Amino acid sequence: MIPPLGSAGTYAEDVAVTEDAPLARVPKGLDDVVASALPTAGGAGLDIVESLEPLSGKTVLILGAGGGVGSFATQFAANAGAHVIANVLAVDADRMLAYGAAETVDHTAVSVPDAVRLAHSDGIDVLIDVASDADGFAELAALVRPGGTALTTRYVADPEALAVAGVTGVNYALRLSSQLLQRLADAVVAGRIDSPPITDIQLDDVPAVWAWNGHADGKTVITL
């Protein structure tokens, strides 16, 4: 059986892990189901934002903000004082604004690069992209002003090419640790961030849900 930490996950009631596995106790006040959904998406969102701080007063564009990692990153970035532009479908706009985003842009209705250029002619400070391919990422990274950072979770950045433009390119990989998990859990318990929507489904229904659109509509799925 594959341990769920740092992998695509598994279905199990009990999991054996190595002694050095990044684990943290579920704090009082945090539901076990919510806790089980936090590590990968929440840990990545928190770690990404912490790696980019300080963000106070900076303009941050988050591509794929409506998904798990994006939802957490939006909240942590907004809490850090950033002006967050969240790329989400219109149906998720209100949720992202409630998370602290200052603006939303729907890529199905308008070109994200064009919309950002129109609203921010002087560019942005940070790009957090959890969705684009290499070409899409390069186009969006061109919006980042010199001295800024363009980060991708899909490992499609060309750091050398971005450096020529004075932009730091980051191919992000999650650095999960017990301390990170504890900070994440504490933030949820304290109410500083909300856990993204969770859909409970029965184990027998998993194939149908995944066949529906490949990722359960961007929501965290807990099987019972």
Q: What pLDDT, on a 0 to 100 scale, did the predictor assign at position 90?
A: 95
Give the separation between CA 148 and CA 59, rounded to whole angstroms.
10
| Backbone torsions φ then ψ of 80, nearest 5 degrees | -85, 0
Neighbours of 171 (CB within 10 A): 13
Q: What is the pLDDT along the chain (224 residues), one digit of tens a residue?
A: 344 444 445 555 666 777 666 777 777 888 877 888 788 899 999 999 999 999 999 999 999 999 889 999 999 999 999 999 999 999 999 999 999 999 999 999 999 999 999 999 999 999 999 999 999 999 999 999 999 999 999 999 999 999 999 999 999 999 889 999 999 999 999 999 997 677 777 777 766 655 544 444 444 444 43
SS3 at position 195:
coil
For residue 224, what are the contacts with CB-CB under 8 A and spacing of at least 6?
A: 200, 201, 202, 203
Q: Helix 39-52 to helix 68-79 angle, to the nearest 10 degrees?
A: 40
Q: What pLDDT, on a 0 to 100 scale, did the predictor assign at position 47?
A: 97
| DSSP 8-state class, residue 129 | E
Give the separation between CA 91 and CA 145, rounded to whole angstroms.
30
